[in-house]
Amino acid sequence: MVSLKRCKTCGVEKPLDEFPKQRRHPDGRRPHCRVCYRNIAAKWARPKAGYTVPLEKCCVRCGNTKPASEFCSNARHRDQLSTYCRVCTRSLAVTVDPEQARAWRYEREFGLTIADYDRMLARQGGQCAICGRRDAGNTPKGRFCIDHDHVTGQVRALLCEKCNRGLGHYDDDPERLEAAARYLRAFKRG
């Protein structure tokens, strides 16, 4: 059975896969269908009628007025330019605390806090949910990967790098994984 959802903009009931993904919504999808979302995004990306891109802009961070070429482009802003100049943008990237960046990433990508991650790891006994390894493998800072359903965005468990990549290579398809296991058992030595 195909799950249906009503678009907030056009009011038409459509299959769930016709709605762009967004983890922060309860069903993991935006409230607008792809067609309506494109129209909304296009409206915001266009400068308003009669509005021209400025030759100069004042950086919100440093307060200096600089040529427009000193700002990155940003289609979400009315003037099509980022709020920070390139120099401030670079300095922000360097000064961000790695733990804060990790917290932002977990929240943005998975809807988790670092405390949620730590609780999951403790519940799993500090090991991979599939193979039981205590070593996360070749991951940044030796942390376990956050495994999630790529369709719904729902977090499943923490995995070592090898198990996470293995699931990814098999497109999270249980039938393919079982077939691979049968294949390996058929050629098992001794």
- Residue 18, domain CATH: 3.30.60.130
Token pair 């920070």: residue: 84
Residue pair 57/44 in contact (Cβ under 8 Å)? The answer is no
Q: Do 144 and 154 lie in a common domain?
A: yes
Token pair 């006994």: residue: 125
Check pLDDT > 90 for residue 130. Answer: yes
Which of the 8 DSSP states describes residue 69?
Answer: G
CATH code for the domain in which residue 56 is found:
3.30.60
Q: Do 104 and 176 lie in a common domain?
A: yes
Domain that holds residue 64: 47-95
DSSP letter string, 4-62:
EEE-TTT--EEEGGGS-B-TTSTTSB-SS-HHHHHHHHHHHHSPPTT----SEEE-TTT
Residues for the chain: how many in total? 190
Check pLDDT > 80 for residue 189. Answer: no
Tally of structural domains, the chain: 3
Q: Do 7 and 57 lie in a common domain?
A: no
Q: pLDDT digit string (tens) for 34-88?
A: 888 888 777 666 555 556 677 889 998 889 999 988 988 887 777 778 888 999 8
Residue pair 11/5 in contact (Cβ under 8 Å)? The answer is no
Check pLDDT > 60 for residue 178. Answer: yes
Check pLDDT > 90 for residue 151. Answer: no
Quote the percentage of the chain above a pLDDT of 90: 35
Q: Do 126 and 174 lie in a common domain?
A: yes
The pLDDT of residue 128: 94
Q: Do 39 and 62 lie in a common domain?
A: no
Average pLDDT of the segment spanning 126-134? 94
Average pLDDT of the segment spanning 142-170? 90
* Distance, CA of 91 to chain centre: 24
Q: pLDDT digit string (tens) for 4-49?
A: 889 988 999 998 888 888 877 778 888 888 888 888 777 666 555 5
- Residues in contact with 87: Cβ distance below 8 Å, sequence separation at least 6, in sequence order: 62, 70
Quote the percentage of the chain above a pLDDT of 70: 91
Give the Å distances, CA to CA, from 90 to 46, 57, 84, 85, 95.
26, 17, 10, 9, 9
